[in-house]
Amino acid sequence: MANYHLTELIHSLSKEELRNFKIYVSRINNQSDGDSKNLQLFDLIKNQSYDEFSDELVAKLYKDGNKNAFYRLKNRLINDIEQSLLLLNRNKDPRFKVYNTIQLANIFRYKSDYDLSYKYLQKAEKAAEKYGYIDLLDIIYSEILDLASDYYKVEPETYIKLKKENFNQLDKSQEVDYLIVAINHRLRHSNYSSKEELGDELEEIIDRLSISEDVSQNPDVQFKIHKCVRTILLQKRDFIELEKYLEKSLTYFEGIDYFDSARYEDLFRILHWLINCANINFHFEQAEEYIDRLYKALHVNNKKYYDKNIWMYHESKVVYYSFTQKSEEAIQLMEEILANPVLTGTNFYDTFVPLNLSGSYFKAGNIKKAMDTIVPLIVSKSFSKLSRFLQLRINIVDLLYHFENNDINYVIYKVAEIKRIFRKEFKLENFAREKKFLSIIHDLASKPNPITNPRVVKKINSFIEESPQAVTGNNEVVIYKFWLKSKLEKRTYYEITIENLMKDKEKMRKNVQIEEVDE
């Protein structure tokens, strides 16, 4: 199978990286004839979607069809893209800086400038110590001891001792790995019901593993434990407990000043999780508060992390509008996002926005706009890179739109095509729900008066009974069971959805009251 490395590399570039690449090529290579071909090959693949292995592309660049020259050009283009990426991103992460400093030391050692090589390794050592990169310190000490064979000013005994001490720290880091694995296993099989029980369980696991206190109380270890617990609570779909745990974690980590410059982005992630939980739990005042905190946090440090993480704010607003039934505001925001060419390059912007905007149009009864919005996503180059499960769900949503548009012949044809394309997946248990739903759609499209057909109605009711009861936490763009209910009850999909959302809200309110009485 052909390896489309160049194509994948080109299409992975963000707008900033594209701009930097063009500047890099023009400055470094001085735009010679060969470099002109370099940029031409780049543009042909990016803008005109030529197959990088096609003879047509070779002929476009070399009239004599010289494939050897073409392959050399491809390799040089790959190298130029990689070098421009390294240059652009060299200072974007403290780890990158340490790696680059080690590389500079190696360059000067290669040039026999041992004094300068040693100085760069010492600089790398200080940076690695500052950020707690003990794995990189092990590499640095090995490099310094290796340099000692060429450079008399290096005192090997000093660095042998440091390397041994650092190795002990690495050994402790393995303790952390054991700890996380144990927590994952135990919590997945536990049945705790309150944050007090959760805290007791964590302490018990740590005690039983004989993890040293300096390891278990290390802030970075504590944050790893936090990520582990929140993921498991999410898998359990225990959103009430998850929200409590996130609130407690945020208070704790802010209290120990965890969110320094190297860890500041972790703050965005906790706030993002809190916003989603608050929405799911119908705690809309808290959701608004955390959205505001996230927005302000993104503007700290001269908006250093803004461009990379602004998608979290946009997603939080869209979800908040959806839960608070502010559909017009949600649609307006997503329309603005799609119209802004700068907002691309993340799964949220490239997949979530067009998919959910089409769902919002559908809920509002605008089938044409729903169809027009989802088609560019399906035919996009990024569609094939999505998971097979998500590809299937998007195809089913498109199918529903065509059903609503009364394109019955297309629906029957499309069902058969989806079954063919996903035949391997439909043999798997986690695709069973979609397989059943697809069968029902086929019945609705192909049978006369299907809603009066007892066999079809029985299949629909069975599917509805087997479906998750709550609206909250459901990640189906068009919720299958509500769409089927709308057909059985001859009501709009919007009416059914809002009615059940209100039921979820009332159920949540009663659960909170019971919990307060128990306390």
Residue pair 367/404 in contact (Cβ under 8 Å)? The answer is yes
Q: How confident is the model at residue 104 (pLDDT cuts 50, 70, 90)?
A: very high
Q: What is the pLDDT of residue 518?
A: 45
In whole angstroms, how far apart are CA 38 and each of 32, 34, 60, 64? 10, 6, 13, 17
Terminal CA-CA length for the chain: 62
pLDDT average, residue stretch 339-365: 87
pTM of the model as a whole: 0.64
Q: pLDDT > 90: what percent of the chain?
A: 35
Q: What is the pLDDT of residue 346?
A: 81
The answer, yes or no, to whether residue 476 has pLDDT greater than 90, is no
Q: What is the pLDDT of residue 2?
A: 56
Which of 59-63, 132-136, 189-193, 336-340 has the least mean pLDDT?
189-193
For the chain, the domains span 5-89, 94-154, 387-519
Is the Cα dihedral 250, 251, 256, 261 positive or negative?
A: positive
Q: pLDDT > 70: what percent of the chain?
A: 85
Q: How confident is the model at residue 497 (pLDDT cuts 50, 70, 90)?
A: confident
The tokens describing 493, both together, are: 């999909």
Which of 61-65, 346-350, 353-357, 466-470 has the least mean pLDDT?
466-470
pLDDT tens digits, one per residue of 382-432: 788 888 888 999 999 999 999 999 999 999 999 999 999 998 998 888 889
Q: What is the pLDDT of residue 130?
A: 84
In whole angstroms, how far apart are CA 111 and each of 107, 142, 150? 6, 19, 12
User: What b/e string do you get for 298-313 counting C-beta neighbours within 10 Å, with b at 16 or more?
Assistant: beeeeeebeeebbbbb
Residue 251, Cβ neighbours under 10 Å: how many? 9
Residue pair 317/333 in contact (Cβ under 8 Å)? The answer is yes
Q: What is the pLDDT of residue 334?
A: 93
3-state SS track over 222-251 = HHHHHHHHHHHHHHCCCHHHHHHHHHHHHH
Tell me which of 141 and 185 has the higher pLDDT: 141
Q: What is the pLDDT of residue 510?
A: 58
Using CA atoms of 501, 502, 504, 510 in order, give the dihedral in degrees to the nearest 10: 170
Question: Which of 113, 109, 193 lies closest to 144, judged by CA?
Answer: 109
Report the SS3 class of residue 488: helix
pLDDT average, residue stretch 466-494: 81
pLDDT tens digits, one per residue of 154-194: 889 999 999 988 887 777 666 666 666 666 665 555 544 44
Distance CA 6, CA 10 (A): 6
3-state SS track over 412-448 = HHHHHHHHHHCCCHHHCHHHHHHHHHHHHHHHHHHCC
The tokens describing 401, both together, are: 């739109």
User: What b/e string do you get for 465-496 counting C-beta neighbours within 10 Å, with b at 16 or more?
Assistant: eebeebbbebebbbbbbbbbbbbeeeeebeeb
DSSP string, 280-317: HTT-HHHHHHHHHHHHHHHTHHHHTTHHHHHHHHHHHH
The tokens describing 294, both together, are: 């996230």
Q: What is the pLDDT of residue 470?
A: 60
pLDDT tens digits, one per residue of 221-256: 788 878 878 877 887 778 888 899 899 999 999 998
pLDDT average, residue stretch 496-519: 63
The tokens describing 77, both together, are: 């283009």
* Sequence-separated contacts (24+) of 515-519 with Cβ below 8 Å: 515/240
Distance CA 22, CA 258 (A): 39
Using CA atoms of 387, 392, 394, 400 in order, give the dihedral in degrees to the nearest 10: -170
Distance CA 310, CA 298 (A): 7
Residues 6+ apart with CB under 8 A from 331: 357, 360, 361, 364
Which of 155-159, 205-209, 354-358 has the least mean pLDDT?
205-209
